[in-house]
Amino acid sequence: MQRREFHHLLLTSAALGLAPLSLHAQLALREGADYRRLSKPAPVDTGPGQIEVLEFFSYSCIHCYRFEPLMTAWMRKQPKEIVVRRIPVGFSPAFEPLQRLYYTLEAMGRLADLHERAFKAMHEERERFNGLEAAAAWAAKQGVDRAAFTQTWQSFGVSGKVKRAIQLQDAYEVDATPSLGIAGRFLVPGQAERTLVVADALIARVRQA
């Protein structure tokens, strides 16, 4: 299917209020291109009847920034048995401040209002979150208590989540962002809006297994 035709189908389906599953019969998934099957299962943190979806991203990734509105809208439509979590990647030590920024905001209950602002700060306002001082200064401008931010950034809890994020990206064999991990079994590389249609198809496959 040509990209233009696929995009038309997606928009038509949305306009008609059809669930993404209505496209599955028309979407021929290509293993190795649309998605990769993991060489061995990755750990999941969900209960019976739940399906875990992980979004591997980085605040520094322009493709993640462009994907963010699509991902947020998709997350809001998911039923409660689909558990979605964002995982900031750490491909090198230079990524750690960005990981700590995400997990610090999460621990402080500020992701809802500052996650998208952090993306915008990097890609439109040229902020560089290359360490605690830069991140804390930006957070303070957003109304976050600087001392509390610093303490949380340096906490054992945030350090543990950074370590866990790296373990998950390795388990899912992530080599680029954005990517979606599905149920500890599949990795979907970023393909703009198609990423989410592929994810829907794989989730349906997991449900049927």
Cis bond upstream, residue 178 (ω within 30): yes
Q: Is 52 left (phi over 0), alpha (psi -120 to 50) or beta?
A: beta
Q: Quick check: is 183 in a domain?
A: yes
Q: Quick check: is 82 in a domain?
A: yes
Strand order in the sheet with 82-88: 36-37, 186-189, 179-182, 51-57, 82-88
Domain count, the chain: 1
What CATH number should be reported for the domain holding residue 75? 3.40.30.10
Say if 38 falls within a structural domain. Answer: yes
**Where do the H-state alpha helices sit in 40-81?**
62-77
Residue with tokens 């350090």: 159
How, if at all, do strands 51-57 and 82-88 pair?
parallel
Q: Is residue 70 domain-resident?
A: yes
Question: Side-chain half-sphere of 49: how many Cα atoms within 13 Å?
Answer: 3
User: Taken in order 19, 22, 23, 25, is the CA torsion positive or negative?
Assistant: positive
45, 77, 37, 56: which is closest to 209 by C-alpha? 37
36-37 and 179-182 strand pairing: unpaired
**Residue 4 counted as domain residue:** no
Q: The domain containing residue 156 runs over which residues?
A: 33-208
pLDDT of res. 28: 81
Q: Which residues pair with 87 in a beta bridge?
A: 56
Q: What is the DSSP string of 141-198?
A: HTT--HHHHHHHHTSHHHHHHHHHHHHHHHHTT--SSSEEEETTTEEEE-BTBHHHHH
> pTM for this structure?
0.87
- Let me know if residue 50 belongs to a domain: yes
- Tens of pLDDT along the chain (209 residues) come to 333 333 443 443 443 343 444 454 446 899 999 999 999 999 999 999 999 999 999 999 999 999 999 999 999 999 999 999 999 999 999 999 999 999 999 999 999 999 999 999 999 999 999 999 999 999 999 999 999 999 999 999 999 999 999 999 999 999 999 999 999 999 999 999 999 999 999 999 999 97
pLDDT, one tens digit per residue, over 141-170 is: 999 999 999 999 999 999 999 999 999 999
**CB count in 10 Å sphere of residue 120:** 14
Residue 104 lies in a domain: yes
Residue 178 placed within a domain: yes
